Every structure is written in structure tokens, then in C-alpha cells.
Structure 1
Amino acid sequence: MGLFDKLFNDDEKEKQEAARRAAAEKYAEEHNRSHAEAASREHAPAKKTAEKASAEKAAARPAAKKAPAAKKTTAASRASVPHQAAPHTHTPEAPNHTHAASSAAAATAAHDQAMTLHVLSHIPDHAPREDDPHYHLFEQAKARLKRQGLWRCMINDDLCDGVPELHHSYIEFSQINQVDPKKVEQALGLHFENDEDFQEWAESPGNLEVLCVAHHRAHYGIHMIPGPLWEALRFHKKGTMAAAEFVPASEAGD
């Protein structure tokens, strides 16, 4: 029995081995066939694309040959209509350009413009001018200006009239008690240690200038004409009309 079993088992093993080899060969054959079919499918579109491109290229050759003829025709049509630049002419009937009007035509003619002012001044309490404890500084400044040959109107033009007078240029004497010294310091770059310093400055040359009667309190007076117009009088050009002048109600026209 041992020998029979051995022979039987060997025979079975050979059969199994043969079956495995056959299965392996079949699998390999099927795998190779599948791979070949896949490769064939991948290359087929590329081949068709190449064939299509060749066909299109061949079809385009006749059109390319005809292109020069079309270009020639277009050039000929252009040559038949020569380009002409528009003439640049100036005629009275139809000028080519519109020139700006002269500045003289646009200027406003000289004219007079009347203005009526009713000014209400608010005067705070203050001592009489002559009783001011700093009035002597005012008189000293006047005397010094006379000694230095400066006792004449600061404007000194053909509109001047009357004797020279001292004008408080920044702060009017009657308004001193309504003025903030700190604001004066900031505006004029000054420094006051106390109110006494401020009061003294108000009567000093820093707050005084010489004006004639006409430019001080009369026809062209700084006390009579609005500031913007009077400042133009300060730089008035000789021989021209004054920027403004004061006309009393009794002399004003209708």
C-alpha cells in the first residue's frame, strides 16, 4: 500500500502541476492580448488626427495659391482711389478754427458801485483819552517820529490831505478793554508779562502809524471805509481812481 500510495500521489501532483502551468499560460496569453488591444485603441486616434491634419493641409494649398490674387485685387482697388489730404484753408465764410475772443472784449468796464453802510459800534467803558496813564507814551512816540523825520502820512500819495495824525493800527484805544492780549501775542509774535505790558504796547510805535487826515478819518479814512477797500488805498497807484471814498449822506445822490 505504501508504494501504491506513493505512485498515486506522484501522479496527482503531476496532474496538478500541469493544470497550474496551463492556467498560467492561459492567463499570460489573455493578458498579452488585452494589452495589445489597449495599445491599438490608444494609437488609433493619433493616427486619425495625423491623417486629418494632412488632409486639411492638402485642402489649404489651393486657397493659399489664390490669396495673392485677392491681395492684388484689393491693392488695385485702393490704387484707383488716391488719398487726398483735406485742404487747410481760412476763409471768411467758413473758418477752420474758432479763435478765443480777445481779453479786451471779456474785460469788465470801469464803473462806480454805491454801497450804504450803517455801522453800530460797541464801545466799552474807558477813561478819557487825556486821563489814560499811558497817554504819555503816545506823546513820546509822536515826538520821536518827528525827530526822526517820519512825521508824514505812511501812504504819502496824491490823495493825501490834511496834517499828519497818529492812528492805532492794530488795537484802537477805545477797544483795549475788549481785546484778549493772548490773541495779540499769537498773531503778532509778542509776549506780555502782564496787563501793564499790554497797555504800554498799545500806545507804543508797534501799534501806531502816521496817517494824514484824509486817510485817517475823512474822505479816504481808515475809520470810514471797509478794511478790504481801504487796504487797496494803502498801495494806491498814482493817477488812478481810489478803491473807495467816503461820501456823507448829505452829499450822496439819490
Structure 2
Amino acid sequence: MSPPEHTHRPVDAHDQALTHRYTVRFPEHAPREGDPHYAAFSAYRRHFLPGALCYVGQRAGASQCTDDRPLELHHATLEFAVVNAVSAEALHRDFPEISEHATAEEIAAWAESSPGQFRWLCQFHHRGHGGAHTASHADWTAQLYVPELIE
């Protein structure tokens, strides 16, 4: 008996509504204003803002970018609220410049002052429904290469 013959037809373009709901357990942390590394973050922001473009918009087109509002600086790897709970060993695997025995203070300094840790994003691609803080990682990353993936 021969295996069944499969017909491979393309799936028509379609929209699909998605809802993600989960709880994030943020560790205890100081208020952002009290962060001793905030000055480095602010200095980076002031220095590189002129001429900056949305990280997503540069790749797949800026039709969804909220260009009428100031760009926002996004921490690409670690947000301020979680740096004091990071596993140095886990971070070291992806970022070998960080010691596997790094202290929370050393990790915070790295997260706030390393240029590769920042992404300029328009408000839509940062905090909007197509944003790094809102869309799933798979969808947010895919929209770097698929124009208008998230509506």
C-alpha cells in the first residue's frame, strides 16, 4: 500500500487575534531615580538621540512608527527592574564579557552602559501593542523582517 498523497496548498493570508496573559514576578528593586547607573543611560540617550531611528522601522519599514513622538531607549537584554536578580552564570553564557561570578552591581553597570544593550524604538514598537514590552518575543522579532506583521 502506498502512502497517501498529500496536497500542499498554501494557506491564504489571514488575520489572527492573539491574547497573552501571564504574571511577571519582579524582584525587589530600588526606584529608577535612585539607580546610580542612570546617569550613564541618560548620557547615552542624549549623545545618540540626534539622528536615531526606530530599530524596527529601519528594517521592515517605518509605516507603523510613531514618528510624531520622541524615540524611546529600550534595554535589549535586561530591564532595570530585574538586574539585581540575574544569574551571572546564565548571563555569562550569552555575554562572556560578564564574569560568571559578577555581582548584581557589576551586572547593573553593564546593563546601563553597554551600547549593544540599547535599542531606539518608537512608542508603537516599544510600548504599543506591537511593542517589545507587549508583543510576544517571536512576533516582535518577526516584525523586524515582515512589514506590518502586527496591526
TM interval, shorter chain, is 0.7 to 0.9
Give TM-score scaled by structure 1 length: 0.50
TM-aligned CA distance change 1:117 to 1:194, over 3 Å: closer
Q: Distance in 1 between matches of 2:18 and 2:65?
A: 23
Residues 63-91 of structure 1: CA deviation (Å, up to 9, x unaligned): xxxxxxxxxxxxxxxxxxxxxxxxxxxxx
Higher helix share: 1
Partner of 2:79: 172
Q: Distance in 2 between matches of 1:185 and 1:201?
A: 12
Q: Distance in 2 between matches of 1:108 and 1:117?
A: 24
Q: Distance in 2 between matches of 1:146 and 1:108?
A: 42
Partner of 2:53: 152
RCO (CA 8 Å, sep 6+): is it higher in 1 or 2? 2
Partner of 1:183: 90
Within-5 A mapping of 1:210-229: 210-229=120-139
Within-5 A mapping of 1:103-114: 106-114=9-17
Offset of residue 208 of structure 1: 1.3
Superposed CA RMSD in Å reads: 2.1
Q: Distance in 1 between matches of 2:133 and 2:98?
A: 28
The amino acid of 2:150's aligned partner reads A
Displaced runs of 4 or more, over 3 A:
none
Partner of 2:33: 130
- Equivalent residues of 1:165, 1:216 under 8 A apart: yes
Q: Does 1:243 align with 2:149?
A: yes
Within-5 A mapping of 1:1-254: 106-146=9-49, 149=51, 151-156=52-57, 157-161=62-66, 162-192=69-99, 194-195=102-103, 196-204=105-113, 205-237=115-147, 242-245=148-151
Structure 1 vs Structure 2: percent identity of aligned residues? 34
Give TM-score scaled by structure 2 length: 0.80
